[in-house]
Structure 1
């Protein structure tokens, strides 16, 4: 007789945990909120000779600004153990590691020479939705405009090198976020429905008896019984 309340409590705990996980997932995806022109926290790390460096914070002057298109030259100090023939890749993170770029080859036979990185940040309202990045070869006009940095970068023994990074922004409409909230609310409604069905199934005998008592004939109530005569 005691197993039904215990099972009900277990289902309630599971439902609460599921709802908490869904809310945490939405919160983590939403990320930080920024104002126009705010610096976006960023970090970088390198990969070469089968090993990876630790994450290093990027100075504010080299970070993206929210909603602002800009070109920066990110300094890359010489990694310990790096050899001239090693291929070198870099990875960036933004908004407290919520958004990572793929590994980008900037030195080696598979890298454009001289390289620059195009980073596209997608915004929804005041938050960053996603980040992507690609490496391209710097065209002749830009090579002339940044000649000292290009010469230093192409010099295999010169460190630190400065990697040109172009930040650009794309706006995604709010409707996409509303679709995510709709999925969340639908999941919550499904959990509530399943709990309701389980409760009804668990206590169906008691509910049936209760309804029978309410709808059944009760002497003197005037509902469902024989009509009574008025006494004068």
Structure 2
């Protein structure tokens, strides 16, 4: 009993010493200007940006065009689940990093890295980091789509001039997205066209032989796969997609 009482006293003593120690927030929060509350808000803003990073990837990069073209290829081959979604998305993702690498390097060197080193504030970092992405979208977007959203912006934001509307992200991002959708569907048509010719030829041969109950797709599928392999389709498709961004 005495041993138990002694152990309890030692435990309370250690607990009291631990509670007496103060928590140093400097070890949790990164050093920089501003109060602790400002640094906490900055960390919350960074976490918010990371949570919407997939949406940013789709809207301001070349990912949309790539994944649409790859999806049309799978539909043209007549293979609804081969390659799988994870394979196509991974391929489009790494192709996007390859195409966007000069732009992303500028985003890091001009905006994010100086912010982490406390050389600039958040507003200046946003301005510098968004400039390379803005230049990339302006070099790719169609003038017709950009003009459409610029006119809509003038109706909703009368104080904005046409020049300001053309460079504003609220105008540039949706115009860039519908431009990428259009180009993706144009490439999808070119991808589907040779497979459609094979389907028509096989369907004509099947009908001429009187095999009415035989699905033509079951016969054309191996020919389409063989055709795609013989022309080295993956090399042609990926090379064409990368070259489409100059």
TM-score by length of 2: 0.25
Structure number with the higher strand fraction is 1
Relative contact order (C-alpha < 8 Å, sep 6+): which is higher?
2
Structure number with the higher helix fraction is 2
TM-score by length of 1: 0.26
When Rg is computed on C-alpha atoms for both structures, the one with the higher figure is 1
